[in-house]
Amino acid sequence: MSDLPSIIRLCDDPQQMQYLLKIRLKEESERRDGIPGIAPKMFSFFTDAKNNAAVRKAYDIMQQQYVLRDADRIPFKKALESLIKIKALLERNPAWRTGTPIKKKDDREDR
């Protein structure tokens, strides 16, 4: 999916990316179990997933439960390659590179 023109356009549009990040950061700041103060650009999942046995196990379980035909299953290696492509697409966007976390709702001064 990372090669779809609509995904590429989204990743290349700073205004749209800023809008989506604002929604994401606000939602994260208001979640009881959220991770406020962490901008999406800080996520290590893109690079750490390949060496994480729990991620690999969860991926395999997801494939077995939700992808019924073996021919439709995406090998883990290919999924990791897609993650790297997506990371590169996101990093091209200035809004992604400068995304700023929002403080947790309880920590805000304006309550």
Q: What is the pTM of this model?
A: 0.71
Residues of the chain below pLDDT 70: 100-111
* Tokens at 64, concatenated: 């077995």
Per-residue pLDDT at 79? 93
Per-residue pLDDT at 70? 94
User: Phi/psi zone of residue 37: left (φ > 0), alpha (ψ -120 to 50 degrees), beta?
Assistant: left
Per-residue pLDDT at 106? 53
